[in-house]
């Protein structure tokens, strides 16, 4: 490449011999444009002629700050060392002045206060090589006319190469405030480092500049791999859009809570709860600070509690509450296919005899196997529930007519024909089934009561049969009927 090349790794790259070639016109223009983008004092620096940093452009604000004319600055090297002196990047003063305007007579007995302004810029170049997020550094600088001022300096890489050095004067009040801010940040980091929850803080927008050790532990990654926007790579792809929407709310000034899955480097998943609050300072763009809590164990416990609340403890089938909620949802659905359902109300025949002769443990084992047979016979999208001691309900979805429901009832009765082996004995048990179509009823209770009446008709006509409530009409018979609620709410 003609002209300068951009050093990318360490001081050695800057000190390496480079072809003695002038800065290309294209590169010069790029550096000028980059330096002109800010109203703050800036100058563009290229590395040419054996890696000597050379000023190729400066904006008006920089000239005013230095109190120099363009010809005193442009084209001049920031440093030139004598043979035997240290290479570029050394913090030892020892660079020979190249500009006549700077060759002032100074009493050698008078100690110098502050570093030469060029040394301040050079010292900022070294840390800039190690990061893609350069920071402002404070220093006491000696200007070309020997003024001593407090400054801040930041050096960044320009497009396609070179450097943009920014130098700004700060007042004592600003310097004191910034020192207080640094002290505050130091206390924050000392507290955050050993916090039992993950902590992250953004620099601007969603770019994170700090994470503590606990956050790294939760994500299963090293801290450098979480800085910038890389922390978003740990969020499960399905949860990321929702989190980004929440981050938009934070940027708008609203605290948020978000629960997402975090995917570790080993592809294991953990549930995490983010609590983020907006943070905006006069000198920093809007960002956020927040905590991250690993809630995997709590989530598992909540899932278990929710499952237990909706399922029968003995058989694992849906319980009465689950059944009623499912029927209510289906009957109030706007989808026509959800109304094409029927229920089978199953009551075991002769179950009391098994309890009385073989004991309740044997009875429980029979109930468990009955539940397994009913579930195996039902389709995947059907629901099987146990609503009382030996009473079961099967919700058959997406049927065409009563013939589909009757065929399902026949399959369930056939599933109970094989003998049950419990307590060292072979026992047989059957069921009486009443069926009802949802299209004939408006609510879950009426639907279940109709099927309950059908079950009692079937039980009166003989064991192991079924009866459709449609054939009975809405009045049915005056047998005990289904009650929607039990004292324990199940």
**Is the pLDDT score of 98 beyond 50?**
no
Which fold does the domain 176-298 belong to in CATH? Beta-Lactamase (3.30.450)
Domain with CATH 3.30.70.270 in the chain: 311-471
CATH class of 311-471: alpha beta
CATH superfamily ID and name for 10-170? PAS domain (3.30.450.20)
d(CA 63, CA 43): 9
Average pLDDT over residues 156-169: 76
Domain with CATH 3.30.450.20 in the chain: 10-170, 176-298
Of residues 87 and 255, the one with the higher pLDDT is 255
Q: Following CA atoms 132, 138, 140, 142 in sequence, which dihedral angle do they give, to the nearest 10 degrees?
A: 40
Predicted local distance difference test score (pLDDT) of residue 283: 53
d(CA 392, CA 346): 5
Predicted local distance difference test score (pLDDT) of residue 15: 29
Could you tell me which residues come within 8 angstroms of residue 3 by beta carbon, excluding any fewer than 6 positions away? 21, 22, 23, 24, 26, 27, 46, 48
pLDDT in tens, 464-488: 999 998 766 554 444 445 555 544 4
Q: How confident is the model at residue 93 (pLDDT cuts 50, 70, 90)?
A: very low
Average pLDDT over residues 148-171: 80
Instruction: Tell whether pTM > 0.95.
Output: no
Predicted local distance difference test score (pLDDT) of residue 334: 63
Q: How confident is the model at residue 286 (pLDDT cuts 50, 70, 90)?
A: confident
């Amino acid at each position: 490449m003609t002209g300068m090349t951009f050093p990318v790794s360490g001081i050695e790259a800057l000190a390496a011999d480079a072809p003695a070639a002038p800065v290309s016109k294209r590169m010069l223009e790029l550096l000028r444009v980059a330096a002109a983008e800010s109203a703050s004092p800036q100058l563009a620096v290229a590395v040419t002629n054996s890696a000597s940093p050379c000023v190729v452009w400066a904006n008006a604000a920089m000239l005013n700050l230095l109190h120099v004319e363009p010809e005193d600055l442009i084209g001049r090297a920031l440093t030139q060392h004598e043979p035997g002196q240290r290479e570029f990047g050394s913090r030892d003063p020892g660079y020979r002045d190249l500009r006549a305007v700077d060759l002032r007579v100074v009493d050698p007995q008078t100690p110098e206060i502050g570093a030469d302004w060029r040394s301040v810029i050079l010292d900022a170049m070294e840390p800039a090589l190690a990061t893609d997020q350069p920071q402002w550094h404070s220093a006491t600088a000696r200007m070309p006319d020997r003024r001593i001022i407090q400054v801040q300096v930041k050096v960044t890489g320009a497009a396609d190469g070179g450097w943009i050095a920014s130098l700004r004067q700060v007042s004592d009040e600003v310097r004191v405030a910034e020192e207080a801010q640094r002290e505050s940040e130091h206390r924050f980091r000392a507290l955050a480092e050993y916090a039992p929850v993950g902590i992250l803080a953004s620099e601007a927008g969603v770019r994170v500049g700090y994470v503590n050790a606990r956050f790294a532990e939760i994500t299963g990654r090293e801290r450098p791999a979480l800085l910038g926007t890389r922390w978003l790579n740990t969020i499960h792809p399905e949860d990321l859009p929702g989190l980004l929407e929440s981050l938009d709310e934070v940027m708008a000034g609203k605290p948020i809570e978000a629960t997402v899955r975090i995917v570790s480097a080993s592809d294991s998943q953990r549930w995490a709860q983010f609590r983020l609050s907006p943070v905006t300072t006069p000198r920093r763009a809007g960002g956020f600070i927040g905590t991250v809590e690993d809630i995997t164990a709590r989530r598992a416990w909540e899932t278990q509690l929710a499952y237990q609340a909706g399922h029968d403890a003995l058989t694992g089938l849906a319980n009465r509450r689950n059944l009623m909620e499912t029927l209510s949802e289906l009957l109030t659905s706007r989808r026509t296919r959800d109304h094409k359902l029927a229920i089978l109300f199953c009551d075991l025949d002769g179950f009391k005899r098994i309890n009385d002769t073989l004991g309740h443990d044997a009875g429980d084992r029979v109930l468990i196997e009955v539940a397994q047979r009913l579930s195996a016979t039902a389709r995947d999208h059907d629901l099987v529930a146990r609503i009382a001691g030996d009473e079961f309900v099967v919700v058959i979805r997406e049927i065409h007519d009563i013939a589909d429901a009757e065929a399902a009832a026949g399959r369930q009765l056939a599933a109970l024909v094989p003998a049950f082996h419990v307590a060292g004995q072979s026992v047989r048990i059957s069921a009486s089934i009443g069926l009802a179509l949802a299209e004939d009823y408006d609510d879950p209770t009426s639907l279940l009561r109709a099927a309950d009446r059908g079950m009692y008709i079937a039980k009166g006509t003989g064991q192991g049969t079924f009866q459709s409530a449609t054939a009975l009409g809405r009045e049915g018979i005056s047998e005990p009927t289904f009650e929607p609620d039990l004292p324990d709410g199940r």
